[in-house]
Amino acid sequence: MWKSDLQDERIKVTYLFHSGVSLEFAGCIVIIDYYQPADFAEILHPEVERLLRKQKKIYVLVSHAHSDHFDPIILAWSKLPCDITYIFSEDIRRQLPFQMSVQHFMKKGDTYQDDCLFVRAYGSTDQGVSFYLEVGAWKLFHAGDLNNWHWNEESTEEEIEQSESDFLRELADIEENCPELDLVCFPIDRRLGKDYMRGAEQFLSRIRVHYFIPIHFTSGGFSSIAAFRPIAACYGATFWEIKKECDNIIINKTGT
């Protein structure tokens, strides 16, 4: 397996909005699934401005074209005086208003690598892909819209079985290649009803995870994610209970 020479002992993780997170390492910054709320539609969000002003290599990853994961404002960042590499799911290609020379498009099974970052695209149970990343010794995963998506109170028994089967098939592929991960960003979406934590628990039951970060919950839904803390603890994962948008945490490679 490819390895970077970077030896980051800790990272700063910032929860942005919805499924958006930034991962700030000593040598680079990774921004995944950035979505900017309407309040900031015409200006650069202060947290993003801080990141883009850093004299570091910046990678902007987008898992799929849904509007709450792919915000076209990220394309304007290429005009700023910073070193940005864009890594997009293949389904975004047709959404772009113009061609950019620094784009990389990925479908399931594709990889990207340079001297700082390694990325492998895994599947999704919705649109696009999920991302496995390596930076130095860190092994990370961002699910995008990969989840056990079923509304138990609304779906038919056949639909629930199909959703379960689709998710477990994708999960088996990840488990085979990534049996242990330092950090995982995974949906905890209360809108799914009583089984809204099912997919996340299934993920932790199959893959050893050190730090679990919830994503894909609606603005104001911070209280709904707290219920997953004891479940994560049962599987030995440290759970970050995010309190607000643009909250951040420092994570050490060998413990918090």
Q: Over 50: is that where the pLDDT of 256 sits?
A: no
CA–CA separation, 252 and 256 (whole Å): 5
Select from 2.40.30.170, 3.30.750.24, 3.40.50.720, 3.60.15.10 the CATH code of 10-252: 3.60.15.10
> DSSP state, 68?
T
On whether the CB atoms of residues 244 and 217 are closer than 8 A, the answer is no
Domains of the chain by residue range: 10-252
Hey, what amino acid is at 29?
A: I
**Scanning the structure block, which residue is given the tokens 């005086």?**
81
Whose CA is closest to 87, among 115, 117, 67, 66? 117
Other CB atoms within 10 A of residue 81 CB = 6
CA–CA separation, 192 and 197 (whole Å): 9
- Interacting residues of 176 by C-beta distance below 8 A, sequence separation 6+: none
On whether the CB atoms of residues 118 and 106 are closer than 8 A, the answer is no
Average pLDDT over residues 238-254: 91
Q: Over 90: is that where the pLDDT of 36 sits?
A: no
CA–CA separation, 186 and 13 (whole Å): 14
pLDDT per residue as tens digits for the range 3-23: 444 456 899 999 998 899 999
pLDDT per residue as tens digits for the range 148-192: 987 666 778 888 888 899 999 999 999 999 999 999 999 998 888
CA–CA separation, 240 and 52 (whole Å): 25
pLDDT per residue as tens digits for the range 153-165: 677 888 888 889 9
